[in-house]
Structure formats: C-alpha cells, structure tokens
Amino acid sequence: MSSAPHELPRRRVIALFLIFVLFVGLIGYRVVAVQVVRSGEFSRWAVAERLRENVVPARRGEIFDSRGVRLATNVPANRVSAIVDQIEDPVLTAQQLAPLIGRAQADIQAALAEPDLEWVVLARQLDPETSQRIELLRLPGIVLDPEPSRIYPFGGFASQVLGFTNYDLAGNYGVEGQYDDVLGGVPGRLVGERDGEGNVIAVTQSTWDAPIDGSDITLTIDSAVQHAIEEILAEVVEEQDALGGTIIVQDPNTGAILGMASWPSYDPNAFVDVTDPATFLNPAISAVYEPGSTFKAIVMALGIDTGVVTPEMTHNDEPGYVELPDGSRIYNFERAVWGTETMTQVLERSSNIGAIFVANRVGRDRFYQRLLDFGFGQPSGVDLQGEESGILTLPGEEGWNDALPYTTAFGQGIAVTPLQLINAVSAIVNGGKLMEPYLVSEVRNGDQVTAREPEVMRQVISEASSATMREMLASVVENPESPYPTVEGYRIGAKTGTAQIPSPNGGYIEDAAITSIVGFGPVEDPRFSVLVKIDWPKTGETGLAVSGPAMTRVFEKLFLLYGIPPDTGEETETP
C-alpha cells in the first residue's frame, strides 16, 4: 500500500509524454503535407497571389452629332462596396451612407446582414464629389473602387437613337448597342508580381497589354433638328392626349437621318428606373402599323413608272364602291362618290377606289414585286438595333387572301415601320433612288477616320417618274380645294393617312386610329423628307387635322435652320 503515492505521478508523466508525442506527430504530418505532398498546390497558390492579372478597361468612344455636339461621354466614377466582416457598426454605417448613395438605411442594413456574403456592392457609378464625402467618413469595411460612368449630357434627348450602356459599359439598344464593338474598344491586361500591398514589383518580370481605346462616332443627327422635332412631337401628343408618336426627318438624297424622335421616351442616365423594357425600343424602326392613305403615294408612283396611268388619265369611281370576290365592298372615305377624276385628283381626294384602279392596272404580280423593290416586308438596313421587317404578305404565302391586293392599294393589310415609309417616299422624290438609311456618318480612332458614303440600294422608279410624282404630290397641297396647311414662301408636297388599329380579336378597334403624314420640300430640289405619326389621338380624327400642322411646323424650322431662301416664283438666269 506504501507504493500507491508514487504510482499516480508516474501515470501523469506517461500521459503527458504520449500527448507530447502526438502533438509532435501532428506537426510533422503538417510539415510533410505542406512541403512534400501539397507543395505543388501551395506553390501555385503563392505564385498566383504574387502574379495577379488585372483587367484594365478601355476608354469607350464618345458620340457626337453632325455639328460636333457631344451626346455621350465618360466621366470618372466610383463603386462603393462593403467587406462585411470588417463592418464594426452596421447601423451607424448604414445611417451615414444612406443620404449619400440614395438608398434607405434599412435597405443598407439588410444588405450588410445577408448571410454567407463576404463582399456586397452598395452603390455604383457615384460621382467624384459623393465619393470624396464617403471617403472622408473613413468607415471601417467600406471600400471605393473606380469604375467609369457613361453620361448623356442632355438627358432624354435622342435617347431611343442613342441607347445606353449598363454598369459594365456594355452598349444596349440604339447606336450604343449596334456599335458596341466599335465604341467599346479592347480591355488591357496587366500581369505582374505583387508585394504585400498589392503593388507591382518593378524589378520583377511583368506583362502589360495596353488597352485599345474605342472609336468616337459622329451621327447624321443634327441636334438643332432633333430638338425641334422632339419639342413639336411632345406638344402634339399632349394636345391630342395621344398614346405616343414619331417624327423623322431624312435627307432624301443621301438617306441620312437628320432627326428621329419618338414619344414616350426615357433618360439613358437613369435606365434602371425604366419599368417597361419596351420603352427602350425605337418605334421609328420597331413599331409596325398600317400606313393608310400615305401608301397611295407609293401605289401612284408604281402606276406612273410602269406607264399604266398618267397624271391626266381619268377613271370613274361610280357607284362609289368596289365589290370583292367574297361579295364584301370597299368604299371611299365617308362613302364619297367622286365620279370622273384624274390620277392627280385621286391623290388630292385620297380616293380608295382610285388607288385600287391604279393597283389593278399595274397587275398583281408586278405590283407586289415592285413593293418588294421599295423595301417593304424587309429590314431597311439602318444601322440601329431592333429593326422590324414590317408585314407584306405575298400571293401564296400563309395569311394571303383575295382581298389583300385591293386593301393594300390604300394602305390596309400591309404593315410598315415609319422608317420604311419615309425611305420609300424619299426614293419617290429624289430621282427614284432607294437609299440605305443611316445614322453614323463617321468613325474616328485617333488620326484614322472612316467616313460613311451614301449608298444607293437600287433604282425603283425613273427620274422622269420621280419628277412627275413631285408635282402630283405638290398638287395635293396646292390645289384650290386643298385643306392642307402650307409653308409661306415655299412649295412642299405631302400625303396624309388615317389608319385603323387592328384588334387582337380580329377586325379593327372602334374609335382608334393612327394619324400620319409624309411630305418633302422644297418641291423643285427636295432637301428634306418628313414623316409625322401620332398614335391614337383622342381629339383629332384625321392625319390632316392632327399631323398636318405638325409637319408644317417642322418644315418651317428646317427651312430656317438651313437657310433655304423662299421661292419667289422668278426664274434666275445663269451668268
């Protein structure tokens, strides 16, 4: 029994020795695992930490109008983020950041409390002043990173033409989307060995691939014209309590778009606030509609060019309707009966029966082939994202019926985009050349400049037919019985249209219409083609009443802006 006191310390010594041996063994195992078994893995990790790759963003090209006005540019900006586990006081942090970054305090606190998040972005593209105020707060865990911001100096001006860039400066819609590769450039790459602070060690080997900056783009859009048509459009839409509308101004001789405005619009600086993505679309190229009587200008041009009618040729529209193969009847507007009338009067009076007479004389197959030649039923090729083809149902295709050759003659049963229609009218008055419409006139990268040359797609009518059509469309405005508004001192030609709106359930919506007008001027030497389209006006009923006065105001602005002298009616002698 006397040996028991010595037995207990001995057992403790053995236990401590075994623990020591186990501890040394574990250390040894870790050393072997790190230096031998996983040495390659840790070596690669260490190299990756030292040799880090940084993407260096390229400068995005700027966008200018035809007068050199900057429409899209870049400014310095910052992104503010939080390293969650470094936030000492989430409530105080949220309280101080909320008024600066435009987020509710509760929203910021919720973001900082998200489970499993180490890093959270709180706001993006903050201006330098706001960034400096955040920096002065010296909040633990709050980090500012530079990220360039795209700015549109005039807000919603020409927004559906320009499009916008997202937070990563990728182009969306409009010119920004169509020319994203040209504007965006190519990012650079920096790979180098870093010190503990993350700086590149100068004496070590590094790789530097410089970014290639994006090119600047000059548009055919004239800001003075754009401002004028946006203002006129907004006033008409408000006066008519309309759903929206579009105005386009084109140079008929080149195809260049001088102005393209649609309503409703949006501010590309605040694209995140847009709740309906359809607002981003450009109705001038993406909204299809039945053109109504404006299409009679196209039909008459086909009749004149094929030689089946002349301006003085007459027809008799009695009894005031045309009976279709199925027994249904087509009447003139308000069931008017004009009796004997010339082809010029068919345009002046906007006779449905007269337009059908012309289309029938052209002949069905030739009629549809010539409409294809004018670009209907296919994209115009304009350099914008989101263009629609329109609808032109050909004989034998799905949806064809025997009534279509009749209704198409006065602009029903065919659907066009506003740009398709104005481009076709430009061809009628410019000598018969269908031009490819375009909005970018020049791409500049440093000293290298690529200019866009006007492109003739095809001759759709002869020069003689074009000259005849100019006078016939001028007579629509100038004849003694014409109610069309005129521009004092100038000759213009035009054709109106009042189109019904198809119902999703078939037929047409009652008391709903699209009113429009297409025009050109001056008649002798056309400089401008103009289209005004108003969607579902609530007060005016016809294209003449709603869109006619707006077109007159557009021409008044154009003649003034471009210094075009009035027509005195006197011939000038050439010295």
Residues labelled catalytic:
293
Please give the C-alpha separations between residue 347 and each of 55, 456, 516, in angstroms, as whole numbers: 63, 28, 15
User: Three-state SS for 148?
Assistant: coil
Token digits of residue 259: 């102005």
In whole angstroms, what is the distance from residue 88 CA to residue 532 CA? 60
Which pair of structure tokens corresponds to residue 353?
Answer: 């029966």
Residues whose CB falls within 8 Å of the CB of residue 304, separated by 6 or more in sequence, listed in order: 310, 311, 343, 461, 465, 468, 469, 472
Orientation of helix 463-478 relative to helix 296-306, angle to 10°: 140
- The vertex-528 CA angle with 526 and 532, nearest 5°, equals 130
* Contacts of 32 by beta carbon, 8 Å cutoff, 6+ apart: none
| Alpha carbon separation from 310 to 44, 60, 300, 433 (Å, rounded) | 84, 55, 9, 21
How far is 500 from 541, CA to CA, in rounded Å?
11
**CB-based burial, 228-247: b 16+ in 10 Å, e otherwise:** bbbebbeebbebbebbbbbb
Cα 430 versus chain centre, distance: 27
Sorted by sequence, the CB contacts under 8 Å of residue 574 that are 6+ apart come out as none
**Coil vs helix vs strand at 120:** strand
* Location of structure tokens 């429409």: 71
Cβ-contact 332, 351 below 8 angstroms: yes
User: In 3D, which of 151, 411, 439 has the Cα closest to residue 293?
Assistant: 411
Amino acid identity of residue 534, one-letter, is: I
DSSP 3-state of 530: strand
Distance CA 134, CA 529 (A): 52
